[in-house]
Amino acid sequence: MQTQKRFNMAQAEPEGYKTLLAMEKYLSVTMIAPLHKELIKIRASQINGCAYCIDLHTKDARKMGETEQRIYALNAWRDTPFFSREERAILALTEEVTLISYHVSDATYSEAIEVLGEQLTAQVMLAAVAINSWNRIGIATGLMPAAN
């Protein structure tokens, strides 16, 4: 665990930070359902180990009506009946974009295109890229969730 105080990215590099905020603004008007955006953010954050983002986005998902059961099972979504075909395509794509060194498989890509269509698939990819950027900033700058 980090002990050294680290800078605030928004203060240290405001113009660069604003570009990520612009991406979030764009993503807010895409075809991705709001709850699906939170699933993307939670799942990528789980993979990356970003405690701050996991805390933030699980709270946001709960406010939107997401169930505790689905949140708790998200890291094992393949082994549950809790997620729709569309959500499974979104989660598989999110995982493979997050773990990009293993590449996005043809099977995952084809399933996403079949279930989501080209435009929504592209938007899910962009959403995964965005949360991965936020995760890396959060982890690199030592953001921690506040204790309740």
User: CB under 8 Å, gap of 24 or more: what pairs does 142-145 form?
Assistant: 142/2, 142/4, 142/5, 142/6, 143/50, 143/52, 144/51, 144/52, 145/51, 145/52, 145/54, 145/55, 145/56
Please determine, for residue 28, whether its predicted confidence score (pLDDT) is greater than 90.
yes
Q: What pLDDT band is residue 51 in, cutting at 50, 70 and 90?
A: very high
> Coil, strand, or helix at residue 30?
coil
Give percent of the chain above pLDDT 70: 98
pTM: 0.95
Please determine, for residue 65, whether its predicted confidence score (pLDDT) is greater than 70.
yes
Find the range with the poorest average confidence among 3-7, 71-75, 104-108: 3-7
User: Which pair of tokens denotes residue 15?
Assistant: 């113009």
Asked whether the beta carbons of 105 and 131 are under 8 A apart, the reply is no
Give percent of the chain above pLDDT 90: 95
Q: What pLDDT band is residue 4 in, cutting at 50, 70 and 90?
A: confident
